[in-house]
Amino acid sequence: MAFNLRFFLAAVVLLAGVAPALSQRDCILDRCADQKPSPARTSAVAPANFDFYVLALSWSPSYCEAHGGGGEQCAPGADRGFVLHGLWPQYERGFPQNCGFGAAPSRPALDRARGVYPEEGLARYEWRKHGACTGLSPGDYFDAAARAKALVAAPQRLNALSRDATLGGNEIERAFLEANPRLRPGMLSVVCDGGALQEVRVCLTKDLREFRACPELSRRSCRARAIRVPAPR
C-alpha cells in the first residue's frame, strides 16, 4: 500500500511538470490560431478566421499617373475612374495576409475574375495575398469580390470628372455616403498619397450583405482639405 501511494504521488508530480508544456502545445495547435497578427505580417492563422471584409476601390487615374501608364488598366482612352483594387479579410485590429493556403487560380477561376479586376495580373496577386486567407476557393473568392463591388456605388460625379479637381477628404467621403444611402460615417476610409486620391476603402460584413463600422480604418481616413483628383483619361 505504501508503495502504491509513493507511485501515485510521483505520478502527480510528473504530470504537474508536464502540464505547462501541454498547455503551450494546445496554444500552438488551437488557441494561438485566434491571435490576430499585426498589420503587414504574414499570417499563420487558419483561413476564414477573420471579422469582416474591406472593399478597396482604387482611383485609376492616380494609379496610372504614379506608374507612368502602361498595361490594360492605363491604356489610352480607357477612361476608368474607380476600379477594384481588392477584397480583403480584416480583423477589428490588423489583418491576415499571405496565408499560403489553397492552390493557384485555374484558368476557369480566372475567367470568373474577368471584368471584376482591371487586369488579370492584379486578380492573381490579390488571391495570393488576400484571397487565400478567406477559406474560399479562387473562383468563389473572385465571385465574392464581384458581389462586394456591386454592393458599393461609386459616385458618378467623381467617375464623370472631365478635368482634374481638388477636393477635401470629407467631400470625397460625403460623395460616397450620398451614392450609398445605407453607408454611414465610420464605415469607410479615404486614402491619399502624395497629395492625390489613391483609393476609398469600404467595410462590409462577412456575408457581404451590409456595410459595417470599422473604427480602426475610419480613424486613418485622409482628412486633407486639398486632395488632387486627376480626371479619367
Catalytic one of 72, 92, 130, 171:
130
Instruction: Determine which one of 65, 67, 72, 85 is catalytic.
Output: 85
> CA distances (Å), 49 to each of 43, 97, 103, 206, 209, in order?
11, 12, 18, 11, 18
Question: Looking at 67, 92, 119, 126, which residue is catalytic?
Answer: 126
Helices (H), ranges, 80-212: 107-113, 120-129, 138-151, 156-159, 169-179
- Residue 134 has a CB neighbour count (10 Å cut-off) of 25
Catalytic residue check, 85: yes
Q: Which three cell numbers stand for residue 7?
A: 507511485
Give the containing element (helix H, strand E) for 26.
Answer: helix 2-29
Q: Which of 27, 31, 34, 38 is nearest to 48 (CA)?
A: 34
Structural contact between residues 150 and 167, judged by C-beta atoms closer than 8 angstroms: no
Q: Can you tell me the distance from the alpha carbon of 48 to that of 59, in angstroms, rounded to the nearest whole number?
A: 28
67 in active site: no
Q: Is 126 annotated as catalytic?
A: yes
Nearest to 202 by CA among 192, 91, 113, 213: 213
Number of H helices, E strands in the chain: 8, 6
Active site residues: 85, 126, 130
